[in-house]
Structure 1
Amino acid sequence: MSSHHVVREKQEPALIIANGEACSVELLGQLLEWSPTVIVLDGALDRVLPLGIKIDVILGDFDGQDAESVRQSQYPVKVVHTPDQNFTDLEKAIIYLVEEEYPAANIIWATGRRADHTLANISILPKYAGSISLKIIDDYSCIFPILPLPHKFVKWYRKGTVISLMPLGITTGITTRNLRYPLTHESLHLGYRNGSSNEAAEDGEVLVEYEEGTLLIMECND
């Protein structure tokens, strides 16, 4: 697979490869072309190494992994040993990027497989929204939180683009513009009232804003 070193470090999002369901080769290649830094969680190494990807950072607790042999095969890869069990390996990778002052990261292989891992991976996105721009991307969706302040999101979409609004807990005072099913100072409550399978009503900017809580945007396709 082609090298990703075509842009300058920290000018484009880093790429974190987690340990969920693998995405398509096409999507992986597209993201690598614009990712100056590739971080692989140690649990995914056995699946990533055969792909021939140039890895910049390997991160994890390395249970059952020989970090030194990987270091030699991927030289000059940086091996970051993070044994702290209070955080998942994905969260450790996000913390690493924040400490290294990366402005943004795309995360792949973070959905599918174990449902508890998928839910945990998605739910930590808002925790770091004020420090780094994060997106979880797979073949069917792109998931990211609305920034904590201001609670406002605006983006241009084509008519019919599926946009789901997913609260983590209760999100209140939601108002939208240019969605097929509009909301006006309304609330969403995870498990009780979700905002799934909405869509852009017309070509143009979609606006979503809210007052309190946490809200994820999910751009979806079938």
Structure 2
Amino acid sequence: MSSHHIVRDDQEPALIIANGASCSEELLGQLLEWSPYVIVLDSAVERAIQLGIKIDVILGDFDREFDPYIYKNEQFPLEIIHTPNQDKTDLEKAFDFLIEKGHKAVNVVWATGKRADHTLVNLTTIVQYREQLKIVIFDDHSKIHLLPNQFTKWYTKNTILSLIPIGKVTGITTENLFYVLQNEELELGLRTGSSNHVSEDGIVQISHKEGHLLLIESLD
């Protein structure tokens, strides 16, 4: 596997490889084809190298006696970013790094599964970056991203779509979903929009007035 291919324009997303559960090689290969710039968090470096992935950046706090410089020649050219700040996760620090570099979009893989606390933090932390970076988290079962206040996309009938509020979300209205919402409210832990699905082939519209609303597109 490699991240090196012809870059068509400046809009291609970067790719962050975290250290949660692995995904299929098919999905990982697709993401690498879309992403000319690959950041691997330090805890996942060995796993990525075993898959033959060309790494552009190794980033992390480098604890557990981790020495990223042993990969300098093997992964040349390689940028090594030491981020010792313990007030942020390595994934947050990778987002900060991309924003500083001027990137506008990023895909994330291996960010779910394994430890439940890591999965929950990874899914909710994207809220703080919504104005700076378009973030999409992928695994073998889901595509996860924050919705803008007005969202429109074509889907096939019966595609499973879950609306998950981070905190409270108000004024939610949907079109072409089986379970219709009309200016309604969802709140994490009290009422969510899990396992809704598309009524007919065609455009789905989802709008909300206030709050942060995750869309989870189920891929299985």
Question: TM (normalized to structure 2)?
Answer: 0.96
Equivalent residue, structure 1, for 2:175? 177
The answer as to 2:110 corresponding to 1:109 is yes
Please name the residue that 1:19 is paired with: 19
For residues 166 and 110 of structure 1, what CA distance do their matches in structure 2 show?
A: 17
Q: Which residue of 1 aligns with 2:137?
A: 136
Q: In 2, Cα distance between the equivalents of 1:10 and 1:17?
A: 20
Aligned to 1:56: 56
1:34 maps to 2:34: yes
Contact 2:3–2:35 (Cα < 8 Å) also in 1: no
What is the rounded CA distance, in whole Å, between the counterparts of 2:43 and 2:103 in structure 1? 23
CA contact under 8 A between 2:3 and 2:37: conserved in structure 1? no
CA distance in 2, matches of 1:166, 1:112: 18
> Does the 8 Å contact 2:3/2:55 carry over to 1?
no
Give RMSD over aligned pairs: 1.2
1:175-218: per-residue Cα shift (whole Å, max 9, x none)?
Answer: 11110101001101111111000011111111111111110000
Give the aligned length. 219
**1:4, distance to aligned residue in structure 2 (A):** 3.1
Q: How far apart are 1:72 and its partner, in Å?
A: 2.7
Tell me the SS of whatever aligns to 1:219: strand
Residue of structure 1 in register with 2:163 after alignment: 165
CA shift for structure 1 position 118: 0.2
Encode CA deviations 1:29-51: one digit per residue, 9 max, x unaligned.
11111111000000101211111
Give the structure 1 partner of residue 80 of structure 2. Answer: 79
Match of 1:97 in 2: 98
Counterpart of 1:209 (choices 185, 207, 215) is: 207
Tell me, in whole angstroms, the C-alpha distance in 1 between the residues paired with 2:78 and 2:89: 21
Determine the C-alpha separation between the residues in 2 that align with 1:9 and 1:107: 20
Taking the aligned partners of 1:33 and 1:105, their CA distance within structure 2 comes to 13
Note the C-alpha offset of 1:9: 6.8
Deviations for 1:138-176, whole angstroms, at most 9, x for unmatched residues?
A: 0000000013xxx11111111111110000111111111
Deviation at 1:221, TM superposition (A): 2.8
CA contact (8 A) 1:142 1:220 kept: yes
- Tell whether 2:144 aligns with 1:146: no
User: Unmatched 5+ residue regions in structure 1?
Assistant: none
Aligned 8 A contact 1:9 1:37 in 2: no
Give ranges in structure 2 of 5+ residues lacking alignment.
none
The letter of the residue matching 1:160 is N
1:168 aligned counterpart, secondary structure: strand
Shift in Å, 1:103? 1.3
Structure 2 residue identity aligned to 1:56: D
Aligned to 1:126, what secondary structure does the other structure show? helix
Contact 1:8 1:36 in 2 (8 A): no
SS of equivalent residue, structure 2 residue 145: strand
CA deviation profile, 1:107-148 (whole Å, cap 9, x unmatched): 00000000000000000112111111100000000000013x
| CA shift for structure 1 position 8 | 4.6
1:65 aligns with 2:63: no
Once the two structures are TM-superposed, the CA of residue 83 in structure 1 deviates from its matched residue by: 0.5
Q: What secondary structure is seen at the aligned counterpart in 2 of 1:214?
A: strand
- TM (norm. structure 1) is 0.95
CA change 1:67–1:9 in 2 (3 A) is farther
**Whole-Å Cα distance in 1 between the matches of residues 215 and 169 of structure 2?**
13
